[in-house]
Amino acid sequence: MVYHPSNETSEIWVCPAAAWDETVEQNGRKIKRFRHVDEILPDSLMADMPAGINKRSDSAEKVNLFLSLFTGREDVYAKRFENAKKTKSGYTPACYSLWSPLCPKTGGGKMKCGDCPNQRFIPFNTDAVEKHLTGELTVGVYPMLPDETCRFLAFDFDGKEYNPEDLRRDVAAIRDVCMEKDINMAVERSRSGNGIHFWLFFGDYIPVGTARKFGSSLITYTMNKHHELPFKTYDRMIPNQDTMPAGGFGNLIALPLQKGSRKNENSSFIDENFNAYADQWSYLYSIKKYTQEEVEAFIRQLSPSGELGDLHKDSEDEKPWEGKKPERKLTPFDFPATVKIVRANMLFAARFGK
């Protein structure tokens, strides 16, 4: 590595590349041994920098913090693609065989990547995160693991289905409840800049069903306070299912802080005024990760009668001029001796009689 020192001399110095990339400890913080002069803060400002990881931390610390929060399947991730004419885009599992002669898609096939005999998925690791953060890729993560656990729950408010006013209204409603219940939820403006992602993080892998019940309870409680919140909010949760679909990986969500999108303050975390935080890394470092016990406590607090709330008959549906039918009391003779149940994505039970 060839460089000029910062002492305004005309000397040219050299050092091994390994030494250039080293980190050292200064005032209790890990910093790069060599930094550009514009990156060096005066001591008066260094004292005001928050403890922990922030925008001045080295890349390794940032990547490790990122992985501790946005953890999904490690054996596969998705990457965004866009054709040359920019008329088609989407996400596909990152695979060493993609578009090679071994890939069924090369010949126009429709085989699922999960069923492909030539699959060679690229693992989700520090390399994938670094390429995402530096703008080389746009990465999507599959949050549900094969054992049907997850480390985060997200809500995807797609801007294509909202006008700006309704989006701000619904985001503010959920923020209001989170502040009331002291729930630490991160809010991100999506890659396009039109949508919003909410993120809830867990300190360990918890059952997807428990995480989704937490999300449903939060939505139901919010609806009780803000009746304008639409029912489609229940469909915004990621993971979107309690169980892993056969032959697939579950749904994915695009990761935040992609460099290309951050140029316009998109793919960034925002405050209650929809402004991006000045130090995204310091903000992420402050995010709380909940244990399963804390999640279950929130569920009981938000929805003591169930995550979908109490079902009741609307008074407008009642017809007082009609006599009420006597309530039928069931006996053991009203039930068949055996019930056949089929377990798939949901439970199916055959119904007998009326």
pLDDT tens digits, the chain, 354 residues: what are they?
A: 887 766 556 678 888 877 776 766 544 444 566 665 444 444 444 444 446 899 999 999 999 999 999 999 999 999 998 877 777 888 999 999 888 888 888 877 778 888 888 889 999 999 999 999 999 999 999 999 999 999 999 999 886 777 888 888 999 999 999 999 999 999 999 998 889 999 999 999 999 999 999 999 999 999 988 888 877 777 789 999 988 887 788 889 999 999 999 988 899 999 999 999 999 999 999 999 999 999 999 999 998 876 665 544 444 445 556 666 677 788 888 888 888 888 876 777 777 654
User: Position of tokens 């470092």?
Assistant: 285
Q: What is the pLDDT of residue 8?
A: 54
Yes or no: say if 296 and 209 are a contact pair by the CB < 8 Å rule. Answer: no
Q: What is the pLDDT of residue 311?
A: 44
Structure tokens at 335: 């039930």
Yes or no: say if 58 and 23 are a contact pair by the CB < 8 Å rule. Answer: yes
C-alpha separations of 10 from 3, 6, 13 in Å: 11, 10, 10
Amino acid identity, residue 340?
A: K
User: Position of tokens 């550009």?
Assistant: 36
CA 159 and chain centroid, separation:
16
Q: Helix, strand, or coil here: 73? A: coil
How far does the chain reach from its first CA to its final CA, in angstroms?
82
Residues 6+ apart with CB under 8 A from 94: 76, 77, 78, 79, 121, 122, 128
Domains of the chain, residue spans: 2-49, 144-310+335-354
CB neighbours of residue 201 within 10 Å: 20
Q: At what angle do helices 59-69 and 126-133 cross, to 10 degrees?
A: 110
Distance of alpha carbon 206 from alpha carbon 215, whole angstroms: 13
Structure tokens at 89: 């885009």
Q: What is the pLDDT of residue 320?
A: 59
Structure tokens at 125: 């690791």
Q: What is the pLDDT of residue 161?
A: 72
Does the reported pTM lie above 0.85? no
Strand 139-141 relative to strand 78-82, pairing: antiparallel
